[in-house]
A = this chain, B = another copy of it.
């Protein structure tokens, strides 16, 4: 049924994994993009897939870690004066093994990948200290990606649980994972996650920085923040959300909102700026940050700290003021060859979704857009994976490159394992629906394979091709558990007599029969129409059969 296969690139150490779904009935097997990784023992972590590619370029060195939490550890860093980002390589005309790997995953030519990265329209997040991750692309031209947020909060969860959620999220299709841990053991939790993650890991360094100053935004400083970024850079975080677009002058724009500032990072920086009447240090020190990011190939995920948290606040002045600043910062990052994407909303009614993408493309010069949903209504807490899957599918159709999932627990509590799966599945649906709408080459092959299996009553193939085979099978078996039902030409929804697909098969035979007869000379005897006499009943007379078209 399902097995992992690898496609080799131009060199033997480029081995790109796919899921291959074997089918019955003489159908060719189907290869699907695979995020699950090679599997790891959490105590040991994953193998360093990209290590040799990183070293062979000769632009990194092994140095003692600077971050105090990494004391005694040796980490990679760009040699002085060297830029080790995929954007830098792409601009220099180099197709890296990382790019080739990602191109094979997408079924595209490596040169297309290089071109999209060089133009800033796509990113390939992969910190040189996270050699375990499998290269992937975030960009409008590629398959729509999804991110799953995990992480401990101050009141819930443990490290082992979070590593388990990581593996679980990747199994179901998460393309990247953000570790949003707060509370105790942030460093150790992240260590467990990065070492076991086959996908790029994102963080919001501000959360840990705030923990370091005991949760008091007033004690935050550039120095504490910078040290936190370096600590995380050395661990291997691949992209970081930086709320550098929340400027002092933007904050009053959010004062009269129904839900104020709903981004944690945004509200923390607004509190810092406002109380001190100083400009956001993430903005004033942005070039220093770029230098750090360039040394490890960390990508910016420019945070939208003023994103709307309710339908009422969508597309307002605060949100768009920040988006303009995100555009300004995008271009600065590119000066340093640092990869960038832009975060977007939030809560947006359907008719206001397209404007978000249009403005982001214009103001941020087509850098990849990475949105949280958006939720298309506020009325359904406990179902925000659905309220937001609607918005996510639409915004991705318009050009958003990556969708940050929302789980059923949004607004209510920390997602558990089941919630993570529910969020990932809802977002894989949204992303794939957008791939279809965008006409991504090959996207529809999956739908066609499943629909063909459905029409042929190949139940096992239908389950195997389903986004979630386990649940599809269990739902089917709830009413028809017996093994013969797996080959039956109906299910319990309509029962045997009313199965349109069964009747439709008989129709197909009938139509073909009519066509065939038409093309024969009239002297030949009409063949017996077996399907009519057996399945559709005995009523048709010979005369009627003769008249069949």
- A513-528 CB contact bits vs B (8 Å, 1 = yes)? 0110000000000000
A329 within 8 Å of B (CB atoms): no
How far is the CB of A214 from the nearest CB of chain B, in Å? 9
- Whether B447 pairs with A379 at a CB distance below 8 angstroms is yes
Number of copies of this protein chain within its complex:
2
Closest residue of B by beta carbon distance from A215: B497
The reply to whether the CB of A433 lies closer than 8 angstroms to some CB of chain B is: yes
Which residues of A (433-485) have their CB < 8 Å from a CB of B?
A: 433-434, 436-439, 444, 446-448, 450-452, 454-455, 462-463, 465-468, 471-472, 474-476, 478-480
Q: How far is the CB of A282 from chain B (nearest CB, A)?
A: 16
Chain B residues, CB < 8 A from A466: 379-382
Nearest CB in chain B: distance from A508 CB, A: 6
Q: Is the CB of A410 within 8 A of B274?
A: no
Q: Is A475 in contact with B386, judged by CB distance below 8 angstroms? A: no
Closest to A503 in B: B267
Query: Is there contact, CB below 8 Å, between B263 and A390?
Result: no
**Residues in B neighbouring A467, C-beta threshold 8 A:** 379-380, 383
B511 touches A277 (CB 8 A): no
Which of A412, A455, A501, A511 neighbours the largest number of chain B CB atoms within 10 Å of its CB?
A412
A382 touches B475 (CB 8 A): yes
Residues of B contacting A252 in the complex (Cβ-Cβ under 8 angstroms):
511, 515, 549
Hey, which bits of chain A sit against chain B, CB under 8 A? 153-156, 182-183, 207, 210, 215-219, 251-252, 254-255, 258-264, 266-268, 270-271, 274-277, 309-312, 347, 349-351, 376-383, 385-387, 389-390, 393-394, 397, 408-414, 416, 425-426, 428-430, 432-434, 436-439, 444, 446-448, 450-452, 454-455, 462-463, 465-468, 471-472, 474-476, 478-480, 491-501, 503-508, 510-512, 514-515, 532, 536-540, 544-545, 547-549
